[in-house]
Chains A and B, each alone.
Chain A
Amino acid sequence: MNQFFNLHRFSLLVAKHWADNKKRYVLSVLAFIGLLVGWYTFTILIDSRFPMGQGLQMVTFFFSLFTVGSFYASQYFRDLGSRAKGINFLLVPASAFEKALCSLLYTVVLFFVVFTLSFYLVDIVMVWIAHNFITDIPYPEDQQGLLNVFDAAKIHASPKTTVNILWIYFSLQSVFLLGSVYFEKYSFIKTVIAGFVLFFIFFCFVYILYDLMPKGDYVNGILTSYRIKNHGKEDYLVKLPDWIGQLLYYIFMYGTAPFLYIVTYVRLKEKQV
């Protein structure tokens, strides 16, 4: 039997994770649905003239996806923070790859599917209620209806570039998944702090780089083009080729999550309790 990956063993691991956690998961989904109903009811009550607008649905979906998704990912490997639970987890006869893949199946795939379905379950009902039961809407023809979250996720950052918020979400979630295997306790808070520290270091790096460069400023974002002021004469523009900018964009946008998944697997393989 293959010791790196075996489909049967992987399916056993998926079933075991479900058996161990189903109570917690079912209760969490019910709590999320309850909170969403409560939130939408509150917004309808305070703004019954334009209820359930798409802006509200969008903010609700992405804010809760980012926070709940990151928090869930930060809790996935929390067993490794306790010696007793860590021993139970690490000694289950499955490979580190299968255990890491199981974490991706639950935190990335199943979480997103269940989250989106739960969101729409509430969203469809609340939009329908807003359309059919609220009678004092001044312009009923302006009712925006149901939000398509996949269309809403695409944001045009520039004429050439479309940013998909979902990719940013998966990248951010992968940071929290790594944090859950890296930090033994308070992984969510520690990951947030570590994120801020890294961001601060990056900020300092950009600032120091700016300080070392001839007087001028960054153009179109940072690090790919720089305008040098030439004291009354025509300014110089130092610009990296477009393909480098594009490459950096694709690496950060689509490479961060897979890279951090690999780091999570390696860290899990090296984990000691």
Chain B
Amino acid sequence: MVSIENVSFAYRKKPVFNGLNLRFEAGHVYGLLGKNGTGKSSLLRNIAGLLFPQKGNIVVNGFTPGDRLPVFLQDVFMVPEEFYLPDISVPDFIKSYVPFYPRFNSDKFRDYISIFEIPADSTLQNMSYGQKKKVLISFALASNAKLLLMDEPTNGLDIMSKSQLRKILAQALDEERCIIISTHQVKDLENLIDRITVIDDGKILFDETIDDISKKLSFRFAIDQTEVAEALYAESSLAGNVIVTANTEGEESKIDLELLYKAIVTNSRKITQLFHA
């Protein structure tokens, strides 16, 4: 679906990635994590063809994104963090944008809009940021684009809307579709993501499936101070210490993405060794 080979990208003199290699396959929801300014949004925009890599190749569904061919754009939909919708009503928006997406499913769009509780005949400019975002997400999912790129999709959504979004995304995933979500708020999409990619300093720090993570890492509470000291990552909480350790017992624990992320960022060398031993 998406193949990134030896890609280097820089904004004028500020390098963002150098020799990045990644693959994203259909049928998965990828979580792209990283600190601010590590290039997550730039990577999504490179994949969408909005930015062009200076070196290396990106191939999406067999196309070079930078060519921005209509046939490519019909199958890639991006929900950016900062987005724009014209000052028109939802029906007018649908009328003028839908014909560009031949596989758009109007019934699904209506379903999503009703799940999000958006008034169908209101004007987009009169909506709140969160409501507009929900219209855009509904449109993106109903477009049936094979590749869906979402940059901080839960930003600006209230608690109910976040759970509605999880429900809708779970419904929308099929074997032909790949969803890449860049987010800081990992907890919002915890049960949805099936592969975690962490970018740091323009490099891939971690890229593993949820299955592999739960096989190799254990997330639990610990009282024993030796266990805490030897953990890959430990954090004190009201109920004791929460730790991330190597899963030596073979028992699968519930993955806490926030802890995982902190463990990767603070102890990437040991975690990489564990996964590539």
Which A residues form the contact surface with B (CB < 8 A)? 1, 3, 6, 9, 12, 15-16, 19-20, 23, 79, 82-88, 90-96, 98, 269, 272-273
Contacts of A1 in B (CB 8 A): 70-71
A221–B97 Cα gap in the complex (Å)? 53
**Known interface pairs A19-B92, A92-B100, A273-B50. Does A3 touch B69 (Cβ–Cβ under 8 Å)?**
yes
- Give 22 CB contacts A-B under 8 Å: A1-B70, A3-B70, A9-B70, A16-B97, A19-B96, A20-B86, A20-B88, A84-B82, A85-B84, A87-B48, A87-B50, A87-B80, A91-B73, A91-B76, A91-B78, A93-B70, A93-B71, A93-B73, A95-B69, A269-B68, A272-B50, A273-B50
A3–B78 Cα gap in the complex (Å)? 20
Which A-B residue pairs are the 10 nearest by beta carbons? A93-B73, A19-B96, A84-B84, A20-B86, A84-B82, A85-B84, A16-B96, A93-B100, A93-B74, A93-B70
A269–B66 Cα gap in the complex (Å)? 9
Which B residues form the contact surface with A (CB < 8 A)? 45, 48-52, 68-71, 73-74, 76-78, 80, 82-88, 92, 95-97, 99-101
A95–B100 Cα gap in the complex (Å)? 12
Contact A83 B82 (CB under 8 A): yes
Among B69, B84, B101, the most chain A Cβ lie within 10 Å of the Cβ of B84
Contact A84 B80 (CB under 8 A): yes
Interface residue from B73, B80, B86 paired with A83 (Cβ < 8 Å): B80
Contact A96 B68 (CB under 8 A): yes
Contact A95 B99 (CB under 8 A): no
Contacts of A3 in B (CB 8 A): 69-71
**Known interface pairs A12-B100, A16-B96, A273-B45. Does A87 touch B83 (Cβ–Cβ under 8 Å)?**
yes
Contacts of A86 in B (CB 8 A): 50
- Measured CB to CB, the closest approach of chain A to B46, in angstroms, equals 10
- Measured CB to CB, the closest approach of chain A to B271, in angstroms, equals 34
**Known interface pairs A19-B95, A87-B78. Does A92 touch B73 (Cβ–Cβ under 8 Å)?**
yes
Contact B45 A23 (CB under 8 A): no
A93–B143 Cα gap in the complex (Å)? 12
**Known interface pairs A87-B50, A273-B45, A273-B50. Does A95 touch B84 (Cβ–Cβ under 8 Å)?**
no
A87–B76 Cα gap in the complex (Å)? 12
A95–B72 Cα gap in the complex (Å)? 10
Q: Supply 5 further A-B pairs (C-beta < 8 A) apart from A20-B88, A83-B82, A272-B52.
A: A3-B70, A19-B92, A20-B96, A88-B84, A92-B73
Interface residue from A6, A12, A23 paired with B87 (Cβ < 8 Å): A23
A269–B49 Cα gap in the complex (Å)? 11
Contact A15 B96 (CB under 8 A): yes
- Measured CB to CB, the closest approach of chain B to A10, in angstroms, equals 11
**Known interface pairs A23-B87, A84-B80, A90-B68. Does A272 touch B51 (Cβ–Cβ under 8 Å)?**
yes
- Measured CB to CB, the closest approach of chain A to B220, in angstroms, equals 42
A23–B123 Cα gap in the complex (Å)? 13
Contacts of A23 in B (CB 8 A): 87
Residue of A nearest to B46 (CB): A272
- Measured CB to CB, the closest approach of chain A to B143, in angstroms, equals 10
- Measured CB to CB, the closest approach of chain B to A122, in angstroms, equals 28
A90–B84 Cα gap in the complex (Å)? 12
A88–B73 Cα gap in the complex (Å)? 11
Among A6, A19, A93, A95, the most chain B Cβ lie within 10 Å of the Cβ of A93
Contact B50 A90 (CB under 8 A): yes
Contacts of B70 in A (CB 8 A): 1, 3, 6, 9, 93-95, 98
Contacts of A79 in B (CB 8 A): 84
Interface residue from B52, B68, B84 paired with A82 (Cβ < 8 Å): B84
Contacts of B85 in A (CB 8 A): 88
Contacts of B51 in A (CB 8 A): 272-273
- Measured CB to CB, the closest approach of chain A to B123, in angstroms, equals 10
A84–B88 Cα gap in the complex (Å)? 17
- Measured CB to CB, the closest approach of chain A to B50, in angstroms, equals 5
A82–B80 Cα gap in the complex (Å)? 13
Contact B83 A88 (CB under 8 A): yes
Contacts of A98 in B (CB 8 A): 70
A98–B51 Cα gap in the complex (Å)? 20
Contacts of A91 in B (CB 8 A): 48, 50, 73, 76-78
- Measured CB to CB, the closest approach of chain B to A153, in angstroms, equals 36
Among A82, A85, A91, the most chain B Cβ lie within 10 Å of the Cβ of A91
Contacts of A12 in B (CB 8 A): 96, 99-100
Contacts of A96 in B (CB 8 A): 68
Residue of A nearest to B69 (CB): A3
A121–B213 Cα gap in the complex (Å)? 72
Among B83, B85, B96, the most chain A Cβ lie within 10 Å of the Cβ of B96
A19–B96 Cα gap in the complex (Å)? 7
Residue of B nearest to A9 (CB): B70
Contact B88 A19 (CB under 8 A): yes
- Measured CB to CB, the closest approach of chain A to B106, in angstroms, equals 16
